[in-house]
Amino acid sequence: MELLLDVRDLCVNYKTYMGELKVLNGVGFSVHKGEKIGIIGESGSGKTTTMRAILRILATNAVIKRGEVHFIGNNVLKMDKKKLTEMRRRHVTMIFQDPTAALNPVFKVGELLADVVKYSHSFNAEKTTKQKLREISIDVLKEVALPDPQRVLDSYPFQLSGGMRQRVCIAMSLATARDLLIADEPTTNLDVTIQDQVLRLMKNLVEKKNLSVILISHALGTVRGTVDTVYAMYAGNMIETAPTEELFSNPLHPYTQGLLKSVPKLTGAGFSEGIEGRIPNYIDPPTGCRFNPRCDRALDICMKEKPQLLGVEDDKHKVACWLYSKR
Amino acid sequence: MEKNEDLLAVENLTKHFKTSFGVVRAVDSINFKVKAGETFGLVGESGSGKSTTGYMVMGIYTPTSGKILFKGNDISKHAKKRPKYLKKDLAIVFQDPASSLNPTKTIKDVVGLPLKVHKMVKNSDELAQRVSELLEAVELPAKDFMQRRPRDLGGGERQAVAIARAIATNPSFIVLDEPTSALDVSIQAKIMKVLMRLQEKLDLSYLFITHDLSLMRNVASRVAIMYLAQIVEFAPTSVFFQNPLHPYTQMLLSSVPVLTKEEEKLKPKGVISKGEVPSAINPPPGCRFHTRCPFASEICKTKEPIFVTAEPGHQVACHRVNIASQKQ
């Protein structure tokens, strides 16, 4: 499979008045053409920061310390403005967590959608008539199973329900041909029955258009049902990766194990004790493995040296933990 | 109060809000009972009226009509009109601890306030003693936390403080309004453990409000499902997850994202989620779920279903189940 996105040793800091937050601590992962990956982790683990770095839409106080992001062979972090715009318009698209904040409240859905179609379509933008744009917009809305697309086009975002708004966001991001879809907690703000519908819709569209996907979520179940490969993230590091079923049935990292055990099950097995403590302070993060203060199996080496993400048994299941390193 | 006796009974409870768009029917004539020492789960999606129900029990809203009986006495009025001892006996933990704790006060002030209001301590030494006991009861290190403020705490720790405040006056009944939905799963597990240990130790009854069915499965002894201001199904928890009868319940269950194959087996097949919750200003006539129900027939569109008992303790308001049970 052709390599689409390759992130290597990405380090991002945030400058604040309290000091520098060392958030991303050498993140690395890759996405091949047609591959669907999921990134799980609790809030504050750096999932969104990673995605924003890929699109270079980080907050202004963020500093990319080191690392490389290659998209089809080009280093995104060194792209000039023109190439960057080209990438955002034609190749990579993102669905954000909160559709209310993602849609500009002073424009009608039709205007928002027309802009996206106009600027990212491969045909000549100036020659496209309003009529043609509207036709395309209606087709796009039909694709996301929105009833009465004509009415939706003439509505302002606040006139739609949360589920409809997220469908509009999906429609906008998939209006034109793309290679990679980044979905950042696309269903967190939705009710469970609506979440089910939106996820199914996204899955169908992705299959139909043969897109690569990065799905970010802290709701582990939604990731399990959607992607092929899962990465677990903790405090700015990728700590484990495996094919979906393997990761959920046989987690290796103490954090992944604790996380999976913490999720209440429909079978009713009660609760685990959860994981002690919380995400570290990023101004002065623990040395070595960043999970060591919360880990009940920490060794001496965990305090000193950062473990690398290495394969266990086969090369598909990798874990960054000293417990599994061959000594 | 003895176990298995009714501590709280809600009868035909209704709350309508007047807005500029029309009357929002937030809760429409619901009935349920909570026994002493049990956890009664109220499940529903946003806007189904579950929080409004909890708020009416607490006296935050005055019911439009209907009764709330607590230990046999009618308490269906606003908190301002309730006697003080009643406020001591009923407590609530809100969803978001970031906004339910006063940011300018120390943890000692926050947890100590109900003790002062109800004159449960005589002097400041006793207050400090009691607050530290309460913090230890929710498994927080009392010494470190007394003088800190909510912003210095993590989400889980804040919620633990909110729980300490709720149990400060030795209540017998606590409304838990989505107590863990603002928290990460690893923290959620910890808070739930604390809540369950407290229930055992202090003999508490919980009205547990949540939208998370997997969570409910592990907490509640009985569950009620709400849809658009009405309860559609009641059941003991284990029965409920084995044999959900109302199509809405089936739709909810089949939409839950799960982590294991065993869980997948519990999800009903053939009820795929579709449509959205209609407006509570103008709810559909007949069965309110008929607009999304895959089994809806003519009668569902006109006649409101009544509760039928499918098995002991398991009641459901659905024409289809009713007809099926009559045929047998």
Q: Residues A262-301: pLDDT tens digits? A: 999 988 888 888 888 888 999 999 999 999 999 999 999 9
Using a CB-CB cut-off of 8 Å, the residues of chain A touching B213 are: 192, 266
- What ipTM does this complex have? 0.87
Find out whether A271 and B192 touch, Cβ atoms under 8 Å: yes
Distances (CA, A) of B233 to A48, B167, B204, B312, B313: 39, 31, 24, 13, 10
Question: How far is A91 from A83, CA to CA, in rounded Å?
Answer: 11
Domain ranges of chain A: 3-91+180-324, 100-177
Rounded CA separation B206/B91 (Å): 10
Tokens of A167: 């469908």
How far apart CA A220 and CA A263 sit, in angstroms, is 8
| Burial (CB count <10 Å: 0-12, 13-18, 19+), residue A23 | buried
> How many inter-chain contacts (A to B, CB under 8 Å) are there?
124
3-class DSSP assignment, residue A273: coil
B274 band by pLDDT with thresholds 50, 70 and 90: confident
Sign of CA dihedral A30, A32, A37, A43: positive
Q: Taking Cα atoms as reference points, which of A273, A306, A261 lies closest to residue A287?
A: A306
Q: What angle do CA B168, B174, B177 make, to 5 degrees?
A: 115
pLDDT given at position A33? 92
At B275, is the secondary structure helix, strand, or coil? coil
- B325 band by pLDDT with thresholds 50, 70 and 90: confident
pLDDT of A126: 62
Decide which of 1.25.40.340, 3.20.20.70, 3.40.50.720, 3.40.50.300 is the CATH code for B6-220.
3.40.50.300
User: Which residue type occupies A268?
Assistant: G
Average pLDDT score over residue span B289-305: 93
d(CA B18, CA A216) in angstroms, rounded, equals 40
Segments of chain A with pLDDT less than 50: 327
CB within 8 Å: B258 and A265: yes
State the DSSP H helix or E strand holding residue B119, giving kind and residue range, or none if neither. Answer: none
Interface test with B, best of A191, A204, A217, A246 (most B CBs within 10 A): A191
Using only C-alpha atoms, chain A has a radius of gyration, in whole angstroms, of: 21
Beta bridge partners of B22: B19
pLDDT at A148: 87
- Average pLDDT, whole number, for chain A? 90
Q: How far is CA B254 from the centre of its chain?
A: 22
CA of A303 vs chain B CAs: smallest distance (Å): 23
Positive/negative CA dihedral, B35, B37, B41, B47: positive
CB A89 within 8 A of CB A117: no
Q: Which residues of B touch A (CB under 8 A)?
A: 45-46, 154, 156, 184-190, 192-193, 196, 211-215, 217-218, 237-238, 241, 251-260, 262-263, 266-267, 273-274, 276-277
pLDDT grade for B71, boundaries at 50, 70 and 90: very high
CATH class of the domain comprising A3-91+180-324 = alpha beta
- Tokens 């006539």, residue? B285
- Facing residue for B259 by CB, picked from A265, A268, A272: A265
Most B-contacting residue of A18, A192, A256 (CB-CB within 10 A), to test interface: A192
Q: What is the pLDDT of residue A119?
A: 80
Beta-carbon separation of B257 and A191 below 8 A: no
Q: Return the pLDDT at A161.
A: 87
Contact A278 B156 (CB under 8 A): yes
Strand partners, A6: A30, A70
pLDDT at B143: 85
Out of B45, B237, B258, name the one closest to residue A191 (CB).
B45
Residue A36 pairs in a beta bridge with A213
Assign B170 a pLDDT band (cuts: 50, 70, 90).
very high
- Please report, for chain B, the start and end positions of each structural domain, with discontinuous segments joined by +: 6-220
pLDDT at position B3, please? 61
- For residue A327, what pLDDT is reported? 45
pLDDT score of B106 more than 80: yes
CA of A291 to nearest chain B CA: how many angstroms apart?
14
Q: Is the dihedral of CA A49, A53, A56, A58 positive or negative?
A: positive
**To the nearest 10°, the Cα dihedral for B161, A23, A282, A311?**
90
Torsion of CA B203, B205, B206, B207, to 10 degrees: 180
pLDDT for the residue A269: 82
Contact B257 A222 (CB under 8 A): yes
Q: Which among A191, A264, A278 has the least Cβ separation from residue B211?
A: A191
In B156-258, beta strands by DSSP E: 173-177, 205-210, 222-227, 230-236
Q: At what angle do helices B185-202 and B155-167 cross, to 10 degrees?
A: 20
Give the strand pairing for B6-19 and B90-93: unpaired
Task: Choose among A199, A220, A268: nearest Cβ to B238.
Answer: A268
- Say what the pLDDT of residue A127 is: 67
Q: Which two tokens stand for residue A319?
A: 């874990």
Closest-CA distance of chain A to residue B131, Å: 22
Q: Which residues contact A65 (CB under 8 A, 6 or more apart)?
A: A11, A12, A13
**Which one of A222, A259, A266 has the shortest CB-CB distance to B213?**
A266
